Amino acid sequence: MRRVVITGAGVVSPLGDSRAALHAALCGGRSAAKPLELFGDEKLGCTLACEITDFDAQKYLGGRNLRPLDRTARLVASAARLALEDSGFGVETLAREAVGLVLGTMFGSLRTISEFDRRALTAGPTYASPMDFANTVISAAAGQTAIMHGLRGVNSTVSTGASSGLQAIAYAADLIRAGSARALLAGGAEELCFESFYGFDRAGLLCPSNNSAPVKYPIPFDARRGGFLLGEGAALLMLEDASRARERGAHVLAEVKGVGSAFDPSRGKDDGKAVAAEARAARLALEDAQLQPASIDCLSASANGSLCADRREAYAIADVFASAARKLPVTAVKSMLGETLGAAGALQVVALTETMRDGVLPGIRGLEETDGDFPPVVASPQNRRVDVSFGLVNSNGFDGHSSSLVLARPSRR
């Protein structure tokens, strides 16, 4: 069967715009959370977010006209530029070969959709913006990025909530295994915007920021946790057919060894079913990788500080790993990056490739004591030295979507 390897990554995040910068920030225990600058409203109960301050896409995209691109598309196009550079795909290669793009995003740009609609409402439909309309489709960012960089292969978008990015990587990996593509950028992106932020705030899912709130920051798995903070960013990985990568002497970061996904038909309402779906996704990924749970050296959790979601994930980990869970170090990068929705799973994969490279697993920022309400998770606020041959990434959505991915360190020759 064809093998899928990662030969480069592009990252645009509140903790840096390279794999190395991201890893250094995570290992330094740096939180991206700070008061919102992009927008504000006195009705918001949460006023903190992991925002990319002064994001300037021009820095990555040169003198190109960026007016047609909204923030989401700029994040994606910038990450794509970085990923293409990191993996050594130049203009000549892109002209010769149809490289694809599979992007995970929960909303696309809800800001663009809403602004288009509001302008039509307030000024009349005659004055609605044609350029904005082109960006109201959730697949717009992927389209804009393909135009900007000449990506003529399969161009697809996946929207499964906070698991979108990991699902996109799995989708792309499967295309390569099936022989439908040889090289694809895959990952996810999400922008911070008032409309989606407000929606999450009204749903009571975010850490409240008022002075009396005990916990204003996300502390995954901690007994005191009280919700998540939203973040934004984009991460794209260059996935290649392993033989193509070998032929061109590419530097391999990791291998996508196995993927799995499952759905909780109670849509998140039933604990038992939710845990079962997460466990199933992880088991399917392990089966796909032909590995036993005990072979996994570390786990990058989806946990973001939510009371319910973190608990369920802990139960799922215990269910899948059983006694092996006692020796399985777990990290939760959303403690520092926040919940970046569509970008989350992809950022986790990038972070894990860095851990594979230098053997350091970032601690969970702010963690004091894991909640006794669920099976113990081997987690610590301190970094840990880990020798990672195989790592597992979990990515769970809000309405029942669950996906897992097994990464393998490239074999030494």
Partner 1 sequence: MNAEEIRAAVKRAISTTANMETAQIGDDASYKDDLQLDSLTILEIAVGLEYEFQIKIPDEQLSEIRSVGDTVRLIQQHLA
Partner 2 sequence: MKQPRRMERRVVITGIGLVTPVGTGREAVWRNLLAGRCGVAPVEAYDTGELSVHRGAEVKQFSAKDYLINTDAETVGRASQFAIAAARLALEDAGLAPDAVEPERVGVSMGTTSGEPLEIERFDDRLVNGELGEVGAEFMARYPCHNISANVAGEFGFGGLNILIPTACAAGNYAVAYGFDALRAGRASLVLAGGADPFSRITYTGFARLGAIAPELCQPFDRNRKGMIPGEGAGVVVLETLAGATRRGARIYAEVAGYGLSCDAHHMTAAHAEGDGAVRAMEEALRSSGTRAEDVSYVSAHGTGTPTNDRLETVAVKRLFKEAAYRLPMSSIKSMIGHTMGAASAIEAAVCALAIQQDCIPPTMNLTEPDPECDLDYVANEARGHEVNVAMNNAYAFGGNNSSLVLKKCEV
The verdict on 125 binding partner 1 (CB under 8 A) reads: no
The verdict on 413 binding partner 1 (CB under 8 A) reads: no
The verdict on 127 binding partner 1 (CB under 8 A) reads: yes
CA angle 15, 220, 204 (to 5 degrees): 95
Which partner in partner 1, partner 2, none is near 197 (CB below 5 to 8 A by kind)?
none
**To the nearest whole angstrom, how small is the minimum distance from the Cβ of residue 20 to partner 2?**
30
**To the nearest whole angstrom, how small is the minimum distance from the Cβ of residue 52 to partner 2?**
22
Which partner in partner 2, partner 1, none is near 271 (CB below 5 to 8 A by kind)?
none
- 328 Rama sector, left if φ>0, alpha if ψ -120 to 50, beta otherwise: beta
**To the nearest whole angstrom, how small is the minimum distance from the Cβ of residue 145 to partner 1?**
16
* Cα separation, 5 vs 408, whole angstroms: 9
**To the nearest whole angstrom, how small is the minimum distance from the Cβ of residue 63 to partner 1?**
8
Segment near partner 1 (CB under 8 A); pick from 125-133, 304-312, 370-378, 405-413: 125-133
The verdict on 323 binding partner 1 (CB under 8 A) reads: no
One-character DSSP codes across 125-184: GGG--HHHHHT-STTHHHHHHHHHHT--S-EEEE-BTBTHHHHHHHHHHHHHHTTS-SEE
The verdict on 123 binding partner 1 (CB under 8 A) reads: yes
- Pair 253, 188: CB distance under 8 Å: no
The verdict on 53 binding partner 1 (CB under 8 A) reads: no
Segment near partner 1 (CB under 8 A); pick from 65-73, 103-111, 154-162, 287-295: 65-73
Which partner in partner 1, partner 2, none is near 123 (CB below 5 to 8 A by kind)?
partner 1
**Bridge-based pairing state of the strands 360-361 and 330-331:** unpaired
Beta strands in 252-389 (DSSP E): 254-263, 298-300, 330-331, 360-361, 384-385
Which partner in partner 1, partner 2, none is near 66 (CB below 5 to 8 A by kind)?
partner 1
Give the single-character DSSP code of 195.
H
- 187 Rama sector, left if φ>0, alpha if ψ -120 to 50, beta otherwise: left
**To the nearest whole angstrom, how small is the minimum distance from the Cβ of residue 263 to partner 2?**
4
- Pair 277, 340: CB distance under 8 Å: no
**Nearer Cβ to partner 1, position 66 or 229?**
66
* Cα separation, 364 vs 361, whole angstroms: 10
For the segment 129-148, give every residue that binds partner 1 (CB under 8 A): 129-131, 134
Q: What is the binding site for partner 1 (CB under 8 A)?
A: 65-68, 123, 126-131, 134
